[in-house]
Amino acid sequence: MKVIAVLNQKGGSGKTTIATHLARGLQLQGHSVLLVDSDRQGSARDWRAVDEDNPVTVIGLDRPTLDKDLKGITDHDYVVIDGSPQATNQALSAIKAADFVLIPVQPSPYDLWATSDLVDLVKQRIEMTNDKLKAAFLVSRAIQNTNIGKDVITVLDGYELPIFNSRIVQRVGYPNSAALGKTVFETESANSNAVQEMTALVNEVKSFLDEE
């Protein structure tokens, strides 16, 4: 079982959108997946409750004992954690539970600088686990038809963590599908840009984990 924690202590980075799509995308590729909502606001749980036919199993574990609580769960190929914002103890627990930490960041220097505390926690855990924990940045909510500025990439490079090739663009399809309790995998055609970029993300996550 692989545990993927989608974390960023700054709100608005698209964590829940990415976590729900990762869970569903992995499921569509034939994997058994559990989505863990560790945010007390319960966004992923609310998403799941909208559609009673939603095939993704979601549970709420919004306490700083997440790493211990997950030890009893072993019957899934993947566990995806939708991280909570601005909750250091819960973020640390999610990091302890994870095999891989995905850090979505908006393409703005201000948002990137705000991730420094989380990056420090992740790096400490990487060192403690002798590099068993993996982590990477994902540029999220990028504005369509604009270039990601060199200054943003420079800031990311300064954190000395990998940067995913995948990019998640800000599209109306994401909130529209969420309002229905679905993902773009259900609401858009297979060749749509949203489906293609989320599929690329799922594949890159799997490839990254398989490099062990």
pLDDT confidence of 150, banded at 50, 70, 90?
low
Domains present along the chain, CATH in parentheses: 2-209 (3.40.50.300)
User: For 82-138, how does the pLDDT look when each residue is reduced to its tens digit (9 = 90+)?
Assistant: 998 766 788 899 999 999 999 999 887 778 778 888 999 999 999 999 999 999 999
- What gap in Å lies between CA 91 and CA 20, rounded to an integer? 18
% of the chain surpassing 70 pLDDT:
94
pTM of the model: 0.93
- Residue 87 has what pLDDT? 64
* Mean pLDDT of the region 162-190: 95
> What element of type H or E holds 54?
none
pLDDT confidence of 210, banded at 50, 70, 90?
confident
Cβ proximity of 205 and 4 under 8 Å = yes
CB neighbours of 108 closer than 8 A, spacing ≥ 6? 152
> What element of type H or E holds 77?
none
Q: What is the mean pLDDT of the chain?
A: 91
CB neighbours of 124 closer than 8 A, spacing ≥ 6? none
Q: Is 42 exposed, middle or buried (0-12, 13-18, 19+ CB in 10 A)?
A: middle
